[in-house]
């Protein structure tokens, strides 16, 4: 009999995905393990394979829809099986004196439970919407367009409605979860990294010849990792229900990477066991995978601390939002030349602004300030990074 293919459990605690792109259409023949659909979840794009061979007889969901694990996505019929068919039109009733008038039926509406729920919340009659999904199903985009207030002619100007989808949707949900779940405070500091600037300049050419691009980020990672050893409450998470702080004895750093689809945070594991060069190579590889959307879900999970280098785009100071369920995030601003008191005289030095946002439920301002001061110490005297590294 025809096989109803349901969205499988993709692991990592995933309960729902966004249907990004169908790789097949109704009537296509597929073989077992052939990719039929791309789904987006937790910032990663995953290709879903077909569990069996046959003909795609029906697709139930449209691109852009959100589906939950266990929901039917398509029906596959093997040779000789009867494909799924839409409900047949009921026969008209015949009476003794002819055809009886039929009661007028409500038009059938094809929509997912989520679309129906949103329609009820927004007061939208789904019967008034013409669906753009498979077999006329109503998508969330159809609903959004129908529910959007029409701009009167005397409005202030034209607008464009952009659905919150993909990576941007995940970012929005995560940031709201962070703001609701943490008592965040930001403190700032500045570091004179002139010596580090010179060190990187000396070594950059040799590493470039090996195909490795040396940025300042590996040095920032190492400085933070060393400082966290003395400030473990910043390398932690909190179980609010159990009223327990979970101190992490490992150092897995999330690194914010800007991609065409939005911000992604791949994880570099065991940074305490890796050299500056090894970190540079891994940052380069993970950044490439994130931008090409080939990164695996496991490479986005399990961080203990996050670093965001917004200075690469021109920012100076900021109040970065904690990457929940972490309890801290370090932001690195734009390196600028400034007059600075150096060895008792005014000199032009390379100054790095730093911002640390932390969860005040887990630790206090004194701990955060001491942590930042230690990060500054390592960055201002980079030899310490190598002397204290494993």
List pLDDT tens digits, range 251-273: 999 999 988 878 889 999 999 99
d(CA 74, CA 67): 12
Is the CB of residue 253 less than 8 Å from the CB of residue 303?
Answer: yes
Model confidence at 178: pLDDT above 60: yes
Model confidence at 246: pLDDT above 50: yes
Bridge partners of 76?
3, 56
d(CA 107, CA 70): 27
Reference 368, options 209, 234, 196, 173; nearest CA is 234
Reference 253, options 208, 210, 291, 301; nearest CA is 301
3-state helix, strand, coil in the chain (%, to 5): 30, 25, 40
Is the CB of residue 376 less than 8 Å from the CB of residue 191?
Answer: yes
Cβ partners under 8 Å of residue 210, min gap 6 = none
Q: Where are the chain's structural domains? A: 3-77, 168-388
Q: Average model confidence (pLDDT) for the chain?
A: 85
What 3-state DSSP class applies to 346? strand
Sign of the alpha-carbon torsion through 31, 52, 61, 20: negative
Active site residue 360: yes
Fold of 168-388: Chloramphenicol Acetyltransferase (3.30.559)
Q: What is the mean pLDDT of residues 285-309?
A: 91
The pLDDT, as a whole number, for residue 343 is 94
Q: What is the mean pLDDT of residues 17-25?
A: 88
Catalytic residue among 33, 213, 250, 360: 360
The pLDDT, as a whole number, for residue 80 is 62
Distance from the first to the final alpha carbon of the chain: 61
Of 66-70, 83-87, 170-174, least confident by mean pLDDT is 83-87
Model confidence at 11: pLDDT above 90: no
Q: Residue 294 — very low, low, confident or very high, per pLDDT cuts 50/70/90?
A: confident
The radius of gyration computed from the CA coordinates of the chain, to the nearest angstrom, equals: 28
Please state the pTM of the whole predicted model: 0.71
Q: What is the mean pLDDT of residues 68-80?
A: 85
Q: How far is CA 156 from the centre of its chain?
A: 34
Residue 378 is given by DSSP the state H
Cβ partners under 8 Å of residue 360, min gap 6 = 183, 184, 185
CATH architecture of the domain 3-77 equals Beta Barrel (2.40)
d(CA 331, CA 349): 20
Reference 234, options 370, 348, 347, 73; nearest CA is 370
d(CA 225, CA 276): 12
Cβ partners under 8 Å of residue 14, min gap 6 = 41, 42, 69, 297
């Amino acid at each position: 009999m025809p096989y109803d293919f349901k969205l499988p459990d993709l692991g990592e605690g995933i309960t729902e995905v966004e249907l990004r792109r169908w790789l097949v259409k109704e009537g296509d023949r597929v073989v077992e393990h052939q990719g039929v659909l791309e789904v987006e979840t937790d910032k990663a794009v995953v290709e879903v394979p077909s569990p069996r061979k046959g003909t795609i007889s029906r697709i139930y969901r449209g691109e852009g829809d959100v589906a939950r694990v266990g929901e039917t996505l398509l029906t596959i019929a093997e040779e000789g099986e009867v494909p799924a068919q839409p409900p047949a039109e009921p026969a008209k009733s015949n009476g003794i004196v002819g055809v009886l008038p039929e009661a007028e039926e409500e038009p059938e509406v094809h929509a997912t439970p989520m679309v129906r729920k949103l329609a009820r919340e927004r007061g939208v009659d789904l019967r008034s919407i013409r669906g753009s999904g498979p077999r006329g199903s109503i998508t969330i985009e159809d609903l959004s367009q129908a529910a959007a207030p029409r701009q009167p002619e005397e409005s202030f100007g034209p607008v464009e409605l952009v659905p919150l989808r993909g990576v941007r949707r995940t970012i929005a949900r995560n940031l709201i979860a962070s703001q609701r779940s943490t008592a965040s405070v930001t403190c700032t500091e500045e570091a004179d990294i002139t010596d580090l600037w010179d060190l990187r300049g000396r070594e950059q050419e040799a590493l470039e010849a090996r195909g490795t691009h040396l940025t300042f980020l590996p040095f920032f990672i190492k400085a933070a990792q060393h400082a966290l050893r003395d400030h473990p409450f910043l390398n932690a998470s909190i179980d609010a229900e159990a009223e327990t702080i979970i101190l992490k004895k490992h150092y897995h750093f999330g690194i914010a990477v800007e991609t065409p689809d939005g911000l992604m945070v791949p994880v570099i594991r065991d940074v305490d066991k890796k050299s500056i060069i090894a970190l540079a190579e891994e940052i380069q590889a993970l950044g490439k995978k994130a931008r090409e959307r080939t990164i695996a879900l496991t490479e986005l999970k399990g961080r203990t601390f996050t670093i965001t280098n917004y200075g690469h785009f021109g920012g100076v100071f900021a109040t970065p939002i904690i990457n929940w369920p972490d309890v801290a995030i370090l932001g690195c601003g734009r390196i600028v030349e400034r007059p600075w008191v150096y060895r008792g005289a005014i000199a032009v030095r390379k100054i790095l602004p730093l911002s640390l946002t932390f969860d005040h439920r887990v630790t206090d301002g004194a701990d955060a300030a001491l942590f930042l001061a230690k990060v500054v110490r390592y960055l201002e005297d980079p030899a310490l990074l190598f002397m204290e590294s494993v």
